[in-house]
Structure formats: C-alpha cells, structure tokens
Structure 1
Amino acid sequence: MIKWMTNYARMYRFGVAPWERYGKAAAESIASLLDREEAERSRPLGRALDLGCGRGQFTPELARRGWDAVGVDYVPAAIEAASRKGGEGVAYVVGDVTDLSSDLGSFDFFLDIGCFQGFDAEGQRAEGRGATALANPGATLLMLAFGPTRLRSRIGGVSQAEVEAAFPDWALLDVQPAETAGLGWPMNRTAPQWYRLRHHP
C-alpha cells in the first residue's frame, strides 16, 4: 500500500500523470454515468467525495452538477494544484483515503476513478471501511478500476470479488465495461470496469 502511494507521489513530483488523459478521452461516458446518479435523486443532490481526486480533474464537475463536492488526495502537490483551479462549491483536503477522517462529514455519493485499484487488500478494505463510516444511508459509490493483469504490480487492478470484499455493507448494483480509448498500452489491455454500489447500513 505504502509503496504504491510513494510511486504515485513521485510521479506527481515529476509532472507525470498519465491517468489524467483518460478523463478527457472518456468524458462523454463519465458524464452519462454521472447523469444516472442525478436522475435518481431529488435536489439538492447532497454531498459528494472524490476519492483520490488528484489535481481536481473531476471534483469541479461534481460541483457544477450541483453536488457539494469535496476532493481528497494523499499528495499535497496534487491538492495544491486542484485548489488553484478554484470553483464554487468545491473543497479540497490533503488526506489518506485508507484513513478517512470523520471531520470530513457524511456523504451521499463517492467517486473513485483509479484510486482503489492501486492498493493491496489491506488498503482496499481500509478505504471501504472509511467510505462506509462516512456514508449516509442509501449513498452510492461509482468506481472505475482496471481488471487484474500480469502488470498489476505496476498499474494496479482489482477483481469484482475484491471490490465486494472491501465494501461488505454495500450492494453491488451494476458492473459494466469502461471505455479504453485514450488509455494507451498497456492500460487499454486491463479490461477496466465501472462498479456501482449502494450503502445499506
């Protein structure tokens, strides 16, 4: 868990963030998934937590859509870059998603795009426990994760069973293949999936 976090921080330090390309390439498909979240809710939408938000690629979009959005990331430089973007209804916090603070408050929606997949089983369960502790009844979680491959130690990846094991108090509502355009090799060979879960306390 710590080794992956260290590599992640180092990549930001050198200005390398290949995962940000995916958000641009798959913007349409991500938008449709967020549309679905909104369609099932009345307004105001509530609070959303962007887990592993990086430099704030998706957090401002959540706010634009009407969520009271909070982004959390382990790397201070990433949070500083995100904060410089500004935006109404957005807050950023330096924090470890495997040790989420109760000071963050409670949330109705969680977004994890490529964060959970980078942890070992212990880290995955820790993220699951933290999200569960902050989840309001009926909260949903939308997660993008690569499938497990031979390159897992370098680029991460998880199975459906591992997702379910980390979120035992959540019902798996949907699993669907994610767009691979824009990922490039070898990430486009990882069979990425979108997982949607609902908290049932």
Structure 2
Amino acid sequence: MYRLGFTPWERYGAAGGAQLGGLIDRETRERPGGPGRALDLGCGRGQFTPELARRGWEAVGVDLVPAAIEAARSRGPAEVSYVVGDVTDLPSAGLGVFDLFLDIGCFQGLTPEQRAAEGRGVTALAAPGATLLMLAFGPSRYRRLVEGVSRAEVEAAFPGWELLSAEDADPAGLGWPMNRTSPQWYRFRRAAD
C-alpha cells in the first residue's frame, strides 16, 4: 500500500491530532514520575510518534513495513527511534519496557489470533502501571472495506489490564466509509505490581 501511495489511514492525522494531544497530555500529567518511555504500535510513517516526543516521552515507533520505517526516520525528529518489528511478536524486537503504548488503527487490522499476540506482547513489555491508548474503528456494515473491532474484542486481547474509559473519537476528516465506523479511544491501565 505504501508503494502504491494508497494510505487512507493517514487521513486521520489532522482530525485526530488535537484529540490525541489531549489524551497524551493527560497521561503525562497523571504519571507520578512524569513522562517515561512510549511505544507507538504500527507507527507507519511516524505520523503520531513525534507527538509523544514533543510531550517529553522517550518515543519509539515500531512497524512491520521497512519502507514505512525508512520514511518515518527520514521525517524525524532525531530524538524519536523507529524500529522494524512485528506488533504480534514484540518481545523478540528487544525494545525494553514501556510506560505508555499507543495504537492508532493497528490492532483493528489484525486477525483475532494476531490481536491476542499483540496483547501478550504489550503485556510483556509493560512497566507496572503502564497505560495503553488505542484508537479503533467499531464494527460496521462496512467491515469488508474498513476493519473494525468491538469493545469486547479489544478487552479480550488485554487480560490483566483495566479498561479505564472508552470515548468516542472525532470522525471529522475521516471520509466515507471510515466516518461511519464509530471510532473509539480506549484507555487501559496495567495493574501495578
């Protein structure tokens, strides 16, 4: 898709940026020691990863597509790290431990088995008290065109995590049919040991 220049998921950047900034700011304020390490899951060309760094997080983006990671690195900023890796096999990437995980549209494109694998990987890399912020489209009659997941499917992939909130995401700027999928922001917290 990157080679063809067809990346409809990137359309959400302008519309979702303000809402994402507020969500990251809340995590930064509520974290006792201030910002820590953050991992952008399925970061693509690094559209959102720099938002983490701008807010003081040590930001790392991971994506399976080498061309996307190469583009992300070329865009910068220099203080953000990008790694080619599989979100369904995070422990093998040697990334270390994280305090915040960001998934904007990656999880929803995975099979049920892959979603469970992402959940296990995030859990393995999570520091005590870590947070997961996920933007996912809901299931709709357009599921063949736009993948989506239900709240139950999201929760099932992250056992041992507490769902703190599920909030409507602003669909402005998405275009049809993505604007018909009831996108949600999910906020999970990993229990402190």
Structures share fold, TM-score greater than 0.5: yes
Matched-pair contact (CA < 8 Å) for 1:72–1:95? yes
Q: Report the aligned-residue RMSD.
A: 1.2
Report the alpha carbon displacement of residue 24 of structure 1 after superposing the two structures with TM.
0.9
Q: Does 1:116 align with 2:84?
A: no
TM-superposed deviation, 1:75: 0.5
Aligned AA (2:16): A
Higher mean C-alpha deviation, range 144-153 or range 164-173: 144-153
Write the distance in 1 (CA, Å) between the matches of 2:5 and 2:135.
23
Aligned counterpart, 1:172:
163
Aligned residues: 191
* Identical counterparts, % of pairs: 69
1:150 matched to 2:141? The reply is yes
Candidates 60, 68, 72, aligned match of 1:78: 68
5+ long unaligned stretches in structure 2: none
C-alpha distance in 2 between matches for 1:118 and 1:85:
25
Residue of structure 2 equivalent to 1:54: 44
Matched, 1:14 2:4: yes
SS at structure 2 position matched to 1:155: coil
Distance in 2 (alpha carbons) for counterparts of 1:106 and 1:168: 18
Contact 1:70–1:91 (CA under 8 A) maintained in structure 2:
yes
Q: Deviations over 1:136-168 (max 9, x none)?
A: 000000000000112223321101111110000
Aligned to 1:141: 132
Distance 1:198 1:105 in 2: 18
Asked if 1:99 is matched to 2:101, the reply is: no
CA change 1:37–1:44 in 2 (3 A) is closer
Query: What is the match of residue 30 of structure 1?
Result: 20
- 2:21 and 2:51 in contact (8 A); partners too: no
Structure 2 distance, partners of 1:130, 1:72, is 13
Structure 2 residue 122 is matched with structure 1 residue 126:
no
Moved more, 34-43 or 186-195: 34-43
Structure 1 unaligned blocks of 5 or more: 1-10
**SS of residue matched to 1:32:** helix
Indicate yes or no: 2:35 matched with 1:45: yes
Which amino acid in structure 2 is aligned with residue 60 of structure 1?
P
Deviation, structure 1 residue 43: 4.5
* Residues 67, 89 of structure 1: 8 Å contact kept: no
Measure, in 2, the Cα distance between the counterparts of 1:101 and 1:76: 18
Structure 1 Cα separation of the partners of residues 65 and 5 of structure 2: 12
The runs of at least 4 aligned residues of structure 1 exceeding 6 Å deviation read none
1:64 and 1:88 map into 2 onto residues whose CA distance is 12
Amino acid of the residue matched to residue 80 of structure 2? Answer: V
Q: Distance between the aligned counterparts of 2:172 and 2:95, measured in 1?
A: 34
